[in-house]
Amino acid sequence: MKQPLHARTIRRLTSSDTDLLVELAPRTFREAYASQVRPEELDRHIRSDFTREHVAAQLSDPRTAGFVALEGDVPIGYALLHVGSPAACVEGPRPIELARIYLERRAVGKGHGAALLRACLEEADRLERETMWLGVWDANTVARAFYERWGFRCVGTHPYEFAGTIYDDLVMARAVAGPRP
């Protein structure tokens, strides 16, 4: 049967998903920033941050949880949560970081980001975390608007190293139990 246009599945990422994420994570990262960042800088960042070892370690880290969005059986995006040390400007209780949320470019604007974030908020709730926070490049207006629609508000900045340069990322946060559009 033909699937409706926006049919999707969200499922948990497991330690068996290394191959999936090793392919999806650098590809979606590249698509997100290709128009704003020099290709050699993107290559350098991807070579250092998306190695198989790094991805495998993330997927087996008990402080990390992740979800993949699929259209049919084709992965089109993912999100990662991480319980670790929050940025200094995050003051809310029991924080959890939305460490990554990335879709393929062709999948943006169809509600897949919303479905991934909903799964992340449910997981954060299940883990009894109370504050969700994230860092976002201030030039990433699409992502910032998405987070604002979901009730995230700017709480400060924190340093983010990209290809040898330190940037000030905006830090946004919301209550896990807050309203979900």
Ligand X SMILES: CC(C)(COP(=O)(O)OP(=O)(O)OC[C@H]1O[C@@H](n2cnc3c(N)ncnc32)[C@H](O)[C@@H]1OP(=O)(O)O)[C@@H](O)C(=O)NCCC(=O)NCCS
Task: Return the structure tokens found at 94.
Answer: 């029991």
d(CA 75, CA 90): 32
Asked if 170 is part of the footprint of ligand X (rule: CB under 6 A), the reply reads no
Q: Which is nearer to ligand X, 65 or 103 (CB)?
A: 103
Report yes or no: 156 and 109 within 8 Å, Cβ to Cβ: no
d(CA 180, CA 85): 25
Asked if 142 is part of the footprint of ligand X (rule: CB under 6 A), the reply reads yes
> In terms of DSSP bridges, do strands 95-103 and 131-136 run parallel, antiparallel, or are they unpaired?
parallel
Q: Which is nearer to ligand X, 15 or 158 (CB)?
A: 158
The pattern of x and - marking residues 39 through 58 that bind ligand X according to CB under 6 A reads --------------------
d(CA 160, CA 37): 15
Task: Return the structure tokens found at 14.
Answer: 């497991």
Q: Which is nearer to ligand X, 45 or 112 (CB)?
A: 112
Report yes or no: 131 and 175 within 8 Å, Cβ to Cβ: yes
Q: Which is nearer to ligand X, 142 or 177 (CB)?
A: 142
Q: Which is nearer to ligand X, 16 or 95 (CB)?
A: 95
Q: Which of 125, 118, 31 is nearest to 69 (CA)?
A: 118
Number of Cβ atoms within 10 Å of the Cβ of 8: 18
The pattern of x and - marking residues 78 through 117 that bind ligand X according to CB under 6 A reads -----------------------xxx----xxxxxxx---
Question: Minimum distance from CB of 154 to ligand X (Å)?
Answer: 13
Asked if 146 is part of the footprint of ligand X (rule: CB under 6 A), the reply reads yes
Q: Near ligand X by CB under 6 A, which window of 55-63, 64-72, 83-91, 135-143?
A: 135-143
Which residues would be at the binding site for ligand X (CB under 6 A)?
6, 32, 101-103, 108-114, 136, 140, 142-143, 146
